[in-house]
Structure 1
């Protein structure tokens, strides 16, 4: 009892500290309640997607509650919000600029749905799959760098949410989870061009039919939603004559996560089909081929004369 009296007397003698301590207690109560709600949702919601969104929603609401609590507590009147916000902005605009932008970025990502966990994006020159979004950072599993194509590098990257305001964001999967890809096939001159065309288109059509079917409906939604012209999603082939070979360019649509494996399958199947033509269709290469060694005529009389001149 005596210790409580001493604490009470100290608080009465230091009113500013009393106000601060009460504020800290309220903040801790709010944070504790938010953590309780997040744990409750994590344990009781079976759907992982709904669970994740609910937890992030509670986190955002918690930040708003803390901001309102802080302003109302120290101003003493909710009508003074405008003045309080102005004073607060002037005091922390420089020192907490990145933090404020990150929090604003998280709200922007959450409400505008710029991207979400599971999306493949490229932002600030970094490409990867989004695995988490919190109030400050976006966490990504990196793709590329020292590995080729769309393989994971193994590095997990935390990127400030402020970058959503600083440059373009490339989303591979938001409205249209397909991308166009292509590769070139060099065919030797003298090959059966029509047969080569039939083989390439047939292999591409048979192996990409599922992607084509699924992408048609998705592309229709994109055309209806945005100001964009219709596009051809079936495999297409373009032929170019070069100095060394006839170049076949195969362009096709594929799931954004299966670009590498699809290119491997198409290349392997087309190569096998070419081999089955018994030389009618041959892949070209940039190796040098010597057709004929030129004949050199040597006159023995000229050699003898030259040797005498040297002597």
Structure 2
């Protein structure tokens, strides 16, 4: 073994002490890598839960690099003391050259300890929105929603975003604190329609769909108020009336789970179409053009 050590020292030109530290450092890294693989294999055999597997993999991905840094650093601590001034200048230059990675690393610390979002949350950061599916040292990953797909449903695309964006972009969290959003559905009927009856029908429909949400939302608001200044006087759904260019607009406003927005709209619209079909005095409004002919006083629409 000593002969191999001496041969490497002679071949590389490094001092025996430095070479020993390099070999020991490589041994530590290899040992930790094999230990991580072994632990993950044990977890994979013990459980089939994707969530449990992900949590173990994520935790070990943080623990082992940190442990490796501490152990390897302890090997080189004496050498660091000898080259303190050089390392000071080197680290300053390195900080300037690696500004973006260091910002992303600081962003990771902010995400982990401040918890603006966690894995599983639905968020929007800048122009990107989606469900958080992974958080790593330098980037986090979301499963995109929206874009060309309506009603906040998944597009199937995965977007990797640098952690540093938490310092430069506003973050919108659909899930943390209050797990409901206000959704609005505008319905327009003609001026000639019985809009009072239409409004009554819409109110009845939305009351049926929001029957259970109000109670759940009240409990969540109470819990969220412990951490945030959230206060709503009324949580019950309501139908608002306004006048638009070609009819009376009745706007339904109600609470819904952000992941179920399209599903609730689908059910509500089906009930509206079914109910309005049975009332001849209620007609949907839409843009029309009216033409007049001269001479005989006939009109066409």
Which band: TM-score by shorter chain? 0.7 to 0.9
Q: Is the deviation greater in 192-201 or in 22-31?
A: 22-31
> 1:248 Cα deviation (Å)?
1.0
Tell me what 2:59 maps to.
57
Secondary structure in structure 2 of the residue aligned to 1:94: helix
Report if aligned partners of 1:72, 1:78 keep a CA contact under 8 Å in 2: no
Tell me what 2:4 maps to.
7
Tell me what 2:228 maps to.
226
> 1:114 Cα deviation (Å)?
2.4
Instruction: Give the Cα–Cα distance (whole angstroms) in 2 for the partners of residues 61 and 234 of structure 1.
Output: 47
Tell me what 1:75 maps to.
77
> 1:202 Cα deviation (Å)?
0.5
Instruction: Give the Cα–Cα distance (whole angstroms) in 1 for the partners of residues 86 and 170 of structure 2.
Output: 34
Tell me what 1:135 maps to.
137
Report if aligned partners of 1:188, 1:284 keep a CA contact under 8 Å in 2: yes
Instruction: Give the Cα–Cα distance (whole angstroms) in 2 for the partners of residues 89 and 294 of structure 1.
Output: 87
Tell me what 1:181 maps to.
183
Tell me what 1:302 maps to.
none
Q: 1:209 to 1:230 in 2, by over 3 A?
A: same
Report if aligned partners of 2:221, 2:231 keep a CA contact under 8 Å in 1: no
Pairs aligned (count): 291
Question: Could you say which structure has the larger radius of gyration?
Answer: 1
Tell me what 1:252 maps to.
254
* TM-score normalised by L of structure 2: 0.84
Tell me what 1:288 maps to.
289
Instruction: Give the Cα–Cα distance (whole angstroms) in 2 for the partners of residues 123 and 83 of structure 1.
Output: 41
Aligned counterpart in structure 2 of residue 266 of structure 1, from 261, 265, 268: 268
Secondary structure in structure 2 of the residue aligned to 1:228: coil
Segments of structure 1 that go 5 or more residues without pairing to the other structure are 298-311
Report if aligned partners of 2:105, 2:137 keep a CA contact under 8 Å in 1: yes
Instruction: Give the Cα–Cα distance (whole angstroms) in 2 for the partners of residues 84 and 102 of structure 1.
Output: 26
